[in-house]
Amino acid sequence: MKPLRNLVVVVFAGSMAGAYCAKMFADGGAHVMIVGQSNLGPHKQSYLYANAQPVAIDDIDLATVDVVIESAAPRPLTPRVLDAPHLVRLQISPFGMSGDHASWLGTDLTDYAASGHAYLYGDPEREPLRGPPDQPAVAAGLYGFVGTMAALLARDRLGHGQTVEISHVQVMAALHQVTLLRWFMTGDVFCRMGNRYTGQGQPNGPYRCNDGWISITAVTGPQVEGLLAVTGLLELLDRPDIDSVMDFQRYPAVLDEPLNEWLSTRPVTEVVDLFQAMRIPAAPLLDPLELLEDPQLVDRSFFEPLASDRAHSVPGPPFQVSHEQPGGNGTSWQPGSVTDGPLAGLRVLDLARVWAGPMCGRILSDLGADVIWIEAPWHRGPQSVPPSLVEATRFFPNDDPGERQWNRNTHFVKYALGKRSLALDLQTDVGQDVLARLVPDFHVLLENFSSRVMPQLGFDEVRLHELNPDLLYLTMPGYGRSGPAEHWLAYGSSVDSHAGLSSLIGYADQTPWKGGIAWPDPIAGLHATSAVLSQLWSGLTHGTGGATIEAAQFESTVAAIGDRILEAQIDGPFRPNGNRDDQYLAQGIYRCIGDDEWIAVSIIDQAALVSLCDLLDLGLEADAPFDHDAFDLAFSAVTSEHDANELAILLQAHGLAASKVAKAPDLAQDPHLQSRSSWGTVDQPEVGPFTVLLTPIAMSATPIRSLMPAPTLGEHNDAVLHAAGFSRTEIVTLAADGIIVTEPPN
């Protein structure tokens, strides 16, 4: 049953971000009408507008419309004048509708640059790379959908609609996992690390086998030790320069050279099966066309015929809803006061780990939900951590883990802001009994374990819905709950290559290329949040009850490049060519004055080239046949004598899309982000002042809730259990027996 089937949405043809948001509504069953001629390419239009109905503006009765979507890129958005107070209006643009740079032009290259992501992609000895094409627009569209659904859920209590506003650059800045944490905590400027994931672990990148590419993500000691054992390379640990497996990140060639030799004689399938059997995250590295034959996606019947051309296939929905229950047993969500947020009164049990799941819980909290983070006693690590881990992560203030490192690890702090902590040992029968008593009092339970964990704990979806028929159970396994890869160990930095992203990145002379961040994590988190809000709408408007939402990270990521999969079937797979893009006359990242300082520029058409030639003495004739190589050479000679930020301001003032390639300190001081009130700071216990970028959804009537400090481990054990009806004696006994804790076990 489609949860959004009674909604009417009008989308004014604009950018890919608006189109992706419209697709989310159409996939949910809304009646989506598109007005105007889209300037998107044919493959994007076919995929994103497959279920939208073209209409003329004069044929629309705004009184019957719920949502209006307006978007623009690369130019700023000029919204229409619409007199309809009941409407929820979504506006998406590169730099937003307000702020110091609201008038700036933006392409996906400048989105990556201005937000600090481009600085994480590429070879540190070469120019930075943009990430997978169009993904800033996808992320902006998803945040737009989340904000719009939240506004719809608040509309009846408000008595009117509101405006939701999204900026590509603000979205991308908010989707750093560790970049800003490291800067604020230790002053460390996170930089691109070559053809590997820019983060912890080694090996952590693409490697060639004898019949194709594989992606390996080994980030823990046991994973690296297992890899050394099965490849016969344990003797590497005897080298005098290797004190622990963490040292391979400092000396990557020590491991990479013999590993590459070992892999070169073996096929991809054999290596993946072997590594996964050892619980080492590994996956084939595929291009968009190869995804159509991926055994996991085929087994799950993920692809479906394109509505307008059944000879070609496109991804199905990024999440699945099953086991829907009839509503009405009295435990479904009854919204609270809208002054406390669109999701006021919603109670969430958050069992998630790492990034994608905790991000979903964090957004729900920011929108007003009461989120209880159920943590294992050892979730935040042991009582003390080795110096090698402190140095590798840079998550601790001033690189000092302190006496209680578990409360000072800022990665946990970031995604727990606004939540409450119940540190509960679910490996025990008693701990499982506690969870069983909690479930009936909550509306949502979310987790991102592998598919076997919850059934092993005694909480499969049947049991959960017996405990609470109205429960929305969100499960986020890496590969889903069926298929040959169901039990594969999956990290975002391995899923990205499997899902086709690495094949979309690279220099003209070196592809594929590993992503700078684990992009599948935020994409999966945003799709999952979208699914929860859609089902909440269904409950309020259609009286539906509980359901199981399955949001597989792999499928969410594949859905985000559906247009590239369609393109591959018609025109052949996309071949990355550095930072160039065929939709623009010229595009690139060019060196400027200073150490590793760069500017990203998109020349969107001939008029922009003429403007640039009039502004700068490039020694080129604007009306001569265009030669991109000659342009790059001439333009680089000019940019190398300019400050990147000053040149970007100059070019934008003359109508050219440009941005400095920002580093962490640039983001921290960025005047545009500050002018948009993008930052929030709390006085975090045991950390001190803690500053993060806020959830990037601007809502005119129900703004994102002010930041609240993250909980210390188990800080709310007593309060949560008391509210659930546990007696004081029971709570004391649970603590004495180590079922609930406020510090990790020894």
CATH number at residue 221: 3.30.1540.10
Domain edge (last residue) among 638, 663, 688:
663
Verify that 545 and 625 share a domain, yes or no: no
Gap between the Cα atoms of 14 and 19, Å rounded? 7
Verify that 522 and 600 share a domain, yes or no: no
Count the neighbouring beta carbons within 10 Å of the beta carbon of residue 79: 15
Q: What angle do CA 120, 211, 512 make, to 5 degrees?
A: 20
Say whether pLDDT at 21 is over 80: yes
| pLDDT value for 331 | 58
Verify that 255 and 344 share a domain, yes or no: no
| Tally of CA atoms within 13 A in the half-sphere of 314 that contains its CB | 28
Note whether residue 52 is domain-resident. no
* Bridge partners, 446 (sequence order): 350, 474
| pLDDT value for 100 | 97
Q: What φ, ψ does residue 303 adopt, rounded to 5°?
A: -85, 150
Per-residue pLDDT reduced to its tens digit, 65-123: 999 999 999 999 999 999 899 999 999 999 999 999 999 999 999 999 999 999 999 99
Per-residue pLDDT reduced to its tens digit, 527-586: 999 999 999 999 999 888 899 999 999 999 999 999 999 999 999 988 999 999 999 999
The 3-state DSSP class for residue 183 equals: helix
Note whether residue 611 is domain-resident. yes
| pLDDT value for 620 | 83
Residue 290, Cβ density class (10 Å: 0-12 exposed, 13-18 middle, ≥19 buried): middle
The 3-state DSSP class for residue 169 equals: helix
76 within 8 A of 104, measured Cβ to Cβ: yes
Which residue in 34, 159, 17, 37 sits closest to 90, CA to CA? Answer: 17
CATH of the domain at 377: 3.40.50.10540
Verify that 465 and 520 share a domain, yes or no: yes
| pLDDT value for 272 | 97
| pLDDT value for 199 | 87
* Bridge partners, 441 (sequence order): none
Say whether pLDDT at 299 is over 60: yes
Per-residue pLDDT reduced to its tens digit, 421-441: 999 999 999 999 999 999 999
Across the range 390-408, mean pLDDT stands at: 91
47 within 8 A of 306, measured Cβ to Cβ: yes
Is the bond into 711 cis (omega within 30 degrees of 0)? Answer: no
Record the tokens describing residue 420, joined without a space: 């409450």
H or E segment to which residue 444 belongs: strand 444-447
| pLDDT value for 328 | 56
Q: What percent of the chain has pLDDT over 70?
A: 99
Residue 398, Cβ density class (10 Å: 0-12 exposed, 13-18 middle, ≥19 buried): exposed
Scan for tokens 């509309």, then name that residue: 155
Note whether residue 55 is domain-resident. no
Torsion of CA 724, 730, 732, 734, to 10 degrees: -90
Verify that 590 and 490 share a domain, yes or no: no
Q: What φ, ψ does residue 221 adopt, rounded to 5°?
A: -55, -50
Note whether residue 715 is domain-resident. yes
Note whether residue 650 is domain-resident. yes
Verify that 545 and 582 share a domain, yes or no: no
| Tally of CA atoms within 13 A in the half-sphere of 291 that contains its CB | 34
Domain edge (last residue) among 285, 302, 337:
285
Note whether residue 102 is domain-resident. no
Verify that 545 and 587 share a domain, yes or no: no
Per-residue pLDDT reduced to its tens digit, 308-363: 888 999 999 999 999 877 765 545 899 999 999 999 999 999 999 999 999 999 99
| pLDDT value for 277 | 96
341 within 8 A of 367, measured Cβ to Cβ: yes
> What's the gap between Cα 105 and its chain centre?
23
Verify that 349 and 251 share a domain, yes or no: no
Gap between the Cα atoms of 697 and 716, Å rounded? 28
pLDDT confidence bin for 672, thresholds 50/70/90: very high
Residue span of the structural domain in which 257 resides: 204-285
| pLDDT value for 329 | 53
Average pLDDT in the chain: 95
Say whether pLDDT at 621 is over 90: no
Verify that 263 and 382 share a domain, yes or no: no
Tell me the pairing of strands 688-693 and 679-684.
antiparallel
Per-residue pLDDT reduced to its tens digit, 234-292: 999 999 999 888 889 889 999 999 999 999 999 999 999 999 999 999 999 999 999 99
Q: Is 471 left (phi over 0), alpha (psi -120 to 50) or beta?
A: beta
**Percent helix, strand and coil across the chain, each rounded to 5?**
40, 15, 45
H or E segment to which residue 320 belongs: strand 320-322
Verify that 352 and 261 share a domain, yes or no: no
Note whether residue 43 is domain-resident. no
Note whether residue 338 is domain-resident. yes
Verify that 380 and 469 share a domain, yes or no: yes
Per-residue pLDDT reduced to its tens digit, 36-65: 999 999 999 999 999 999 999 999 999 999
Per-residue pLDDT reduced to its tens digit, 181-238: 999 999 999 999 999 999 888 999 999 999 999 999 998 899 999 999 999 999 999 9
Across the range 601-613, mean pLDDT stands at: 94
| pLDDT value for 388 | 79
Q: Mark out the alpha helices in 490-643 (DSSP H runs).
A: 492-498, 520-542, 553-559, 562-571, 606-615, 628-639
Number of structural domains, the chain? 3
Domain edge (last residue) among 267, 285, 303:
285
Verify that 531 and 628 share a domain, yes or no: no
| pLDDT value for 309 | 83
Gap between the Cα atoms of 206 and 197, Å rounded? 9
